[in-house]
C-alpha cells in the first residue's frame, strides 16, 4: 500500500514509518519538523511541510495515490495545553480538519488516528474499556476527542473510514537501536528517568506520593512503541477488509507505579540515581490502565514487548547510544 504518515519524523511516527517500509509499504512522511527530526526518517521519503497547508496537501495528494493516511502530528503536552489552548486547537483540531478535507477532496478514505487515554478524563473504573465515558479534563484531551467526533461525522457524511487508537503510555524505543524518544523539552517519565541514570539530568522527581495507590505514586500502563505501531498496521488491514470505522484502547492492561518504574530502571541500568519527591503535577489521575480486550479480539493484537524491563531496556539502549 501507499501510505502517508503525517508526523513521520516524530517519536511514534518515525517508528511507524520504519515498520511500514520494512513490511514493504510505500511510505511518505509529512512533517513540519516543529517537534520531529529530519534524521529520524531513516526509511521512506520525507516531505517537509505542514498538515494545515492546503497547497502542500494538494501537491502531495496530486502526486501520489495514497491508500491510507496515518496521523501522528499533534502537540501532546497536557500542561502546555492548559496554558496555551489556542496552539492545541489550531494544530490538533483545525489543521487536522484541513488534512481530512484534503483526503476527501482527493478521494482517500482510510484514516488512522493517534488518540489518547486523555479523552476519558478522570477514570470512573479501571481498567478503562472503549465504553468508558469520555470527559477529558484538559484541552489536550478535548482536542483529541473533538477529532474523534469529527471523524464520526465524516464517516456518516462522506464515507471516510477511520480507526482511532487511544494510547495509554507509549514508551520504549526501536529494539534495533536506530530510533527512540527525543522530545524537547522532555516530559515523559521513562526518558526522564533514564536521563537521570545517564547523568544528563541531576535527578528524577516523583510528582506526588499521596495518591490512593499501593505506594502512593501514580500508576500507568506502559506500552512499547513497536507494539503500538503493530496495532496501526493491523487496524489498517482490518479497516480495509471490513470497510468499517473502529476505536480501540491500547495498553498492556497492567499498571506500574512511578516508584516501580524507577526501581525497574535502576535494575535495568545498574545505576543508583537520585530520586526526589515533589508536589503532585496538576491533572494527573491516580491510575490509568487500559482494557485492550477489543483490540486483541478484533485486530488479533498481541503485544510482544509487554514486559516493563524490555520497554526500559530498549529505551536505555537509545539513551546510551544516541545521546552518548
The contact set with ligand UFG (CB under 6 A) reads 76, 78, 116-118, 140, 169, 187-189, 192, 204-207, 218, 220, 258, 281, 284, 288
Catalytic option among 11, 43, 88, 140: 140
Q: How far is the CB of 40 from ligand UFG (least distance, A)?
A: 18
Please say which residue, 87 or 205, places its beta carbon nearer to ligand UFG. 205
- 140 catalytically annotated: yes
Q: Find the residue with minimal CB distance to ligand UFG.
A: 218
CA angle 277–279–284, rounded 5-degree value: 110
Q: How far is the CB of 92 from ligand UFG (least distance, A)?
A: 11
Please tell me the number of Cα atoms within 13 Å of 313 on its side-chain side.
10
How buried is 22 (Cβ within 10 angstroms: 0-12 exposed, 13-18 middle, 19+ buried)? Answer: exposed
How buried is 242 (Cβ within 10 angstroms: 0-12 exposed, 13-18 middle, 19+ buried)? Answer: exposed
* Calpha distance 298→7 (Å, rounded): 26
Please say which residue, 57 or 189, places its beta carbon nearer to ligand UFG. 189
Q: How far is the CB of 23 from ligand UFG (least distance, A)?
A: 26
Beta strands 256-257; 219-220: pairing state: antiparallel
- DSSP states of 229-277 as a string? HHHHHHHHHHHHHH---EEEEES-S--EEHHHHHHHHHHHHT----EEE
Q: How far is the CB of 263 from ligand UFG (least distance, A)?
A: 13
Q: E-strand spans in 44-124?
A: 45-48, 68-71, 110-116
The three cell numbers locating residue 205: 522527581
Q: How far is the CB of 316 from ligand UFG (least distance, A)?
A: 16
How buried is 38 (Cβ within 10 angstroms: 0-12 exposed, 13-18 middle, 19+ buried)? Answer: exposed
Give catalytic residues, as residue numbers. Answer: 140
Amino acid at each position: 500500500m501507499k501510505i502517508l504518515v503525517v508526523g513521520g519524523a516524530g517519536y511514534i511516527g518515525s517508528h511507524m514509518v520504519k515498520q511500514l517500509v520494512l513490511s514493504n509499504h510505500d511510505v511518505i512522511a509529512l512533517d513540519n519538523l516543529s517537534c520531529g527530526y529530519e534524521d529520524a526518517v531513516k526509511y521512506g521519503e520525507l516531505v517537509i511541510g505542514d498538515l494545515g497547508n492546503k497547497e502542500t496537501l494538494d501537491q502531495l495528494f496530486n502526486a501520489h495515490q495514497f491508500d491510507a493516511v496515518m496521523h501522528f502530528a499533534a502537540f501532546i503536552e497536557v500542561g502546555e495545553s492548559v496554558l496555551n489552548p489556542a496552539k492545541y486547537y489550531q494544530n490538533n483540531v483545525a489543521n487536522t480538519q484541513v488534512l481530512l478535507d484534503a483526503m476527501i477532496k482527493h478521494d482517500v478514505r482510510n484514516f488512522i488516528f493517534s488518540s489518547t487515554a486523555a479523552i476519558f478524563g478522570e477514570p470512573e473504573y479501571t481498567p478503562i474499556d472503549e465504553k468508558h465515558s469520555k470527559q477529558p479534563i484538559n484541552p489536550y484531551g478535548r482536542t483529541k476527542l473533538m477529532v474523534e467526533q469529527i471523524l464520526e461525522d465524516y464517516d456518516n457524511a462522506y464515507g471516510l473510514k477511520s480507526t482511532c487508537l487511544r494510547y495509554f503510555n507509549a514508551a520504549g524505543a526501536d529494539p534495533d537501536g536506530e530510533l527512540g524518544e527525543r522530545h524537547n523539552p522532555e516530559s515523559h517519565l521513562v526518558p526522564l528517568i533514564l536521563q537521570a541514570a545517564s547523568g544528563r539530568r541531576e535527578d528524577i522527581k516523583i510528582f506526588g506520593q499521596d495518591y490512593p495507590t499501593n505506594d502512593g505514586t501514580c500508576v500507568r500502563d506502559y506500552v512499547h512503541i513497536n507494539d503500538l505501531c503493530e496495532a496501526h498496521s493491523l487496524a489498517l488491514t482490518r479497516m480495509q477488509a471490513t470497510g468499517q470505522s473502529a476505536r480501540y484502547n491500547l495498553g498492556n492492561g497492567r499498571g506500574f507505579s512511578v516508584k516501580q518504574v524507577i526501581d525497574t530502571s535502576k535494575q535495568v541500568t545498574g545505576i543508583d540515581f537520585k530520586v526526589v519527591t515533589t508536589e503532585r503535577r496538576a491533572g494527573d489521575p491516580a491510575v490509568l490502565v487500559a482494557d485492550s480486550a477489543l483490540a486483541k479480539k478484533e485486530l488479533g493484537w498481541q503485544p510482544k514487548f509487554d514486559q516493563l524491563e524490555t520497554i526500559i531496556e530498549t529505551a536505555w539502549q537509545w539513551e546510551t547510544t544516541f545521546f552518548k
